């Protein structure tokens, strides 16, 4: 039977989303799609979307399929037809909205990084722990965990397929800031974004490294740089990663790039690079794990593939081989296309919605939890502390 046959008979879960730009569009796509692909115990209903500009939020509601539009997030949280609040706003508002939603009895999905500071993330994690005792769930949107190839890599590492880890190497490279005329959007302001490339894409790199390794970073040594220190203020609408600058200028208050070395709890060495100045690299997330018995390699530009080197094979025939991660028994692929008919970036958000709905139905805490988000926030803070102290090795406080 097709997933959609049962969809109308299932209990529903009203979703309210705050923010509707790039991530809001990606999440909307996921809420629209998830119940048509996966057989789920709950069907999401896109009750309302919220944004400050009444005309723009109404247009976003119509475009993305939300039943109602709100201009005050508090009104959205208070709605009876909203049981789950999905936060797709800049980091500066995550803590306030998430804590209020959890206290109002709602489940929460919050975009990454969880917050702008460790203190905010602590308050959010505490609110999520209290909400767990009332059966609510809270998840942070590190969507790359939901790539089938990376979920498979996690399985293989956990099963000991490449043995004990020696190295975890992650680079996350983009180039949308190389033009010094690119405007000073919210992602370039510390008070709104918390940090720059570090929090925006470095947080993905850190989360995915720790997820794949199955262990946290114990400490880091880092360098950050802001190459373009002043930019034109935005003129007109800013959408996603594009916009136009006017005559007035303002200061860039975040990093443009971060280079990090680190040590995992087991002693494995990790390295990370996050930049929005890698000319020619659009959204290039590259991951390599080297273990005692083998290696795994992933490249987001070829996201349906995982490369495995099996070090136990005879040297005469050993070599990296490509696993095409499109089989029905690969993670998340049971509901999609026949083998070989690959997936894309947007599917990670569909899988994220799937896992969250399953967790809500089971009353179980989904991963990555707000505690996981807090742990990444502690790594980000340690990176900034190290960079401010001439790259001094800085311990990441263990999870409490």
Cα angle for residues 355, 356, 359 (degrees, 5° grid)? 90
The nearest distance, CB 121 to ligand SOE, in angstroms, is 17
Q: Could you tell me the two tokens for 170?
A: 């992650």
Question: What's phi and psi for 8, nearest 5 deg?
Answer: -70, -20
Rounded-to-integer distance, Cα 372 and Cα 118, Å:
12
Q: How many residues bind ligand SOE (CB under 6 A)?
A: 7
Based on CB atoms, which residue is closest to ligand SOE, 136 or 377? 377
- From candidates 86, 120, 122, 200, binder to ligand SOE by CB under 6 A: 200
β partners of residue 230 = 251
Pick out residues in 347-386 that bind ligand SOE (CB under 6 A): none
The nearest distance, CB 204 to ligand SOE, in angstroms, is 6
- Residue span binding ligand SOE (CB under 6 A) among the ranges 27-35, 56-64, 199-207, 356-364: 199-207
Q: Does 120 bind ligand SOE (CB under 6 A)?
A: no
CB 55 within 8 A of CB 77: no
Question: Of the candidates 360, 371, 373, which has an alpha carbon nearest to the alpha carbon of residue 106?
Answer: 360
Q: Does 22 bind ligand SOE (CB under 6 A)?
A: yes
Rounded-to-integer distance, Cα 93 and Cα 110, Å:
10
Based on CB atoms, which residue is closest to ligand SOE, 33 or 174? 174
Q: Does 114 bind ligand SOE (CB under 6 A)?
A: no
CB 371 within 8 A of CB 210: no
CB 72 within 8 A of CB 53: no
Q: Which residues contact 117 (CB under 8 A, 6 or more apart)?
A: 194, 377, 381
Q: Which residue is nearest to ligand SOE (CB)?
A: 200
Q: Does 201 bind ligand SOE (CB under 6 A)?
A: yes
CB 192 within 8 A of CB 90: yes
Q: Does 273 bind ligand SOE (CB under 6 A)?
A: no
- Residue span binding ligand SOE (CB under 6 A) among the ranges 55-63, 69-77, 101-109, 197-205: 197-205
Q: Does 93 bind ligand SOE (CB under 6 A)?
A: no
Pick out residues in 216-245 that bind ligand SOE (CB under 6 A): 241
Binding site for ligand SOE (CB under 6 A): 22, 174, 200-201, 204, 241, 283
């Amino acid at each position: 039977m097709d997933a959609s046959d049962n969809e109308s008979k299932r209990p529903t879960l009203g979703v309210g989303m705050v923010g509707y730009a790039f991530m809001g569009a990606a999440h909307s796509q996921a809420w629209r799609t998830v119940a048509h692909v996966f057989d789920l115990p709950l069907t999401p209903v896109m009750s309302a979307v919220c944004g400050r500009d009444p005309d723009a939020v109404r247009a976003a509601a119509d475009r993305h399929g939300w039943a109602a539009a709100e201009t005050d997030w508090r009104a959205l949280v208070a709605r009876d037809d909203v049981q789950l609040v999905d936060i797709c706003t800049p980091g500066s508002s995550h803590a306030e909205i998430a804590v209020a939603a959890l206290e109002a009895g709602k489940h929460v999905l919050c975009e990454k990084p969880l917050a702008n500071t460790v203190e905010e993330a602590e308050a959010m994690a505490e609110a999520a722990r209290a909400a767990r005792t009332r059966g609510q769930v809270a998840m942070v949107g590190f969507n790359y965990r939901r790539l089938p190839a990376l979920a498979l890599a996690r399985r293989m590492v956990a099963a000991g397929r490449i043995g004990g880890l020696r190295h975890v190497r992650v680079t996350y490279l983009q180039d949308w800031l190389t033009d010094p005329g690119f405007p000073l959007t919210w992602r370039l302001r510390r008070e709104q974004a918390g940090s720059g490339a570090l929090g925006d894409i470095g947080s993905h790199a850190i989360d995915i490294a720790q997820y794949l390794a199955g262990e946290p970073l114990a400490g880091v040594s880092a360098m950050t740089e802001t190459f373009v220190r002043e930019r034109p203020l935005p003129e007109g609408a800013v959408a996603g990663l594009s916009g136009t600058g006017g005559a007035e200028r303002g200061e860039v208050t975040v990093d443009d790039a971060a280079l990090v070395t680190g040590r995992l709890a087991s002693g494995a060495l990790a390295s990370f690079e996050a930049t929005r100045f890698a000319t020619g690299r659009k959204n290039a997330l590259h991951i390599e794990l080297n273990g005692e018995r083998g290696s795994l390699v992933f490249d987001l530009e070829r996201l349906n593939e995982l490369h495995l080197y099996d070090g136990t094979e005879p040297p005469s025939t050993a070599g990296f081989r490509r696993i095409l991660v499109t089989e029905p028994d690969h993670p998340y692929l049971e509901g999609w296309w026949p083998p070989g008919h690959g997936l894309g970036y947007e599917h990670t958000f569909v899988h994220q919605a799937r896992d969250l709905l399953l967790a809500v139905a089971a009353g179980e805490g989904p991963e990555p939890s707000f505690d996981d988000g807090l742990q990444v926030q502690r790594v980000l803070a340690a990176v900034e502390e190290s960079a401010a102290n001439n790259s001094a090795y800085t311990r990441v406080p263990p999870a409490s």
